[in-house]
């Protein structure tokens, strides 16, 4: 098994930060319209930093693993720094890129986080 598959499976079976965030200050929901992944990313922003980030998803293993590593990474980060996280960071964290047709599964959590942060303070493009 490749490192990518092992990491994805580990996060899929034991996702970090899965579940609703009761005191969220911002939330966004995203979907991959054809494959059906759906995810909600919630954040609590305080003093310009992400105090907490969680996600809820009915999604595939790659999407859930991506959300898991992403929410771990951005917790405690300045909102402006979180804006710099990109798909390359996600793929480095998962130690590989998904097959061509599945890249959008890995980037959906990132896109959704950005929209949540944008709703939070309007600073994310």
Partner 1 sequence: MTDGLIDQSEPLLSNEPSVALATLVAATGSTSKKVGTKMIVGESGRLIGGVTIGGCVDAQVVEAADALLEAGGRRVLSISLDDDEAWEIGLTCGGTVDVLIERVNVHDIVDPVAAAHVAARAALARGESAVIATPLDGESAALVVSEGGARHGTLGESAVDAMATTIATDVLVNGSRIAPIDHAGTSRQYFFDRQSPPTTVVIVGAGQIAMSLTRMARELDMRTIVVDGRERYATRDRFPDADEIRVGMPSEIVASIAPSKRVAVVLIAHDYKYELPVLRALLRSTVGYVGMLGSRKRGDAVRALLREEGFTDAELARIHTPIGLDIGGKSPPEVAVSILAELVAVRSGKRA
Q: Which positions touch partner 1 (CB under 8 A)?
A: 13, 29, 31, 33-34, 36-38, 40, 56-60, 63
**Contacts for 84 with CB less than 8 Å, ≥ 6 apart:** none
CB of 14 to partner 1, least distance (A): 10
- Give the residue with the Cβ less far from partner 1, 36 or 48: 36
Least Å distance between CB 50 and partner 1?
22
Under a CB-based contact definition with an 8 Å cutoff, are residues 49 and 77 in contact?
yes
Q: What is the Cα 33 distance to its own chain's centre?
A: 17
Minimum distance from residue 81 beta carbon to partner 1 (Å): 29
Alpha helices in the chain (DSSP H): 3-13, 61-74, 79-82, 87-93, 103-121
Identity of the residue, 57 or 69, whose beta carbon is nearer to partner 1 in the bound complex: 57
Taking Cα atoms as reference points, which of 69, 51, 50 lies closest to residue 61?
69
Q: Which is nearer to partner 1, 30 or 79 (CB)?
A: 30
Cβ of residue 2: shortest distance to partner 1, in angstroms? 20
How many Å apart are CA 81 and CA 31, to the nearest integer?
24
Residue closer to partner 1 by CB (options 13, 80) is 13
């Amino acid at each position: 098994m490749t490192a990518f598959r092992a990491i994805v499976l580990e996060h899929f079976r034991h996702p970090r930060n899965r579940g609703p965030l009761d005191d969220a200050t911002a939330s966004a929901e995203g979907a991959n319209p054809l494959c059906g992944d759906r995810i909600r990313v919630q954040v609590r922003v305080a003093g310009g930093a992400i105090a907490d980030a969680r996600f809820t998803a009915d999604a595939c293993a790659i999407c859930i693993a991506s959300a898991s590593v992403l929410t771990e990474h951005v917790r405690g980060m300045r909102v402006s720094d979180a804006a710099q996280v990109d798909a390359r960071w996600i793929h480095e964290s998962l130690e590989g890129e998904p097959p061509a047709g599945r890249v959008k599964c890995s980037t959906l959590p990132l896109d959704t986080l950005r929209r949540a942060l944008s709703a939070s303070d309007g600073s994310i493009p």
